[in-house]
Structure 1
């Protein structure tokens, strides 16, 4: 899971804390779906941007 857990736990705590108890399952599944969509879109877009910029990091000068 890597660095995602640093965001997943607070997202789940917040999501379950702001909904009524009977909607907790929906809140958890919404957060999980968001992470899935972000991964499915973010990984290919990151790879595309990396290829477009020759994959070399740039200094902020």
Structure 2
């Protein structure tokens, strides 16, 4: 049985890069880790967004 260590490390790396990224580089970090068909379902007024760039600009 796998303990998902590789997957856990990937998530930790993603969060670490988000935490240390400058505001103008957030979308680049997100695009590196997220799928091209990424859908983010936020609450009003952010609603549904379909790209890492949109999420980084509207939510962060």
Rg: which structure is higher?
1
Q: Which has the higher strand share?
A: 2
RCO comparison, higher one (Cα < 8 Å, 6+):
2
Q: Same fold (TM over 0.5)?
A: no
TM-score, with structure 2 as normaliser: 0.37
TM-score, with structure 1 as normaliser: 0.37
Q: Which has the higher helix share?
A: 1
